[in-house]
Amino acid sequence: MRVIAGEAKGRPLQAVPGKGTRPTTDKVKEAIFSMIGPYFNGGLALDLFAGTGGLGIEALSRGFERAIFVDRDPRSVAVIHDNVRRTGMHARAEVYRNDAGRALKALEKRRAALNLVLLDPPYAVRDADALMVEMDDRGLLAPAALVVVEHAADVRYAERFGSFTTVNEANYGEITVTVYRYEPGAKAPEGAENDATI
Domain range list for the chain: 26-182
> Which residues are bridge partners to 71 per DSSP?
97
| DSSP SS3 for 6 | coil
- The dihedral formed by the CA atoms of 171, 103, 2 and 61, expressed in degrees to the nearest 10: 100
Region 55-59: mean pLDDT is 98
Cα–Cα distance list, 176 to 116, 120, 179, 198 (Å): 18, 11, 10, 13
> CA nearest 163: which of 146, 184, 142?
184
Cα–Cα distance list, 130 to 158, 164, 166 (Å): 12, 11, 15
Region 48-73: mean pLDDT is 97
Question: What is the predicted pLDDT for the residue at 188?
Answer: 54
> For residue 195, is pLDDT > 80?
no
**Global pTM value:** 0.91
Phi/psi at 33 (nearest 5 deg)? -75, -20
| DSSP SS3 for 80 | helix
Q: Which fold has domain 26-182?
A: Rossmann fold (3.40.50)
The model's pLDDT over 22-32, given as tens digits with 9 standing for 90+, comes to 778 889 999 99
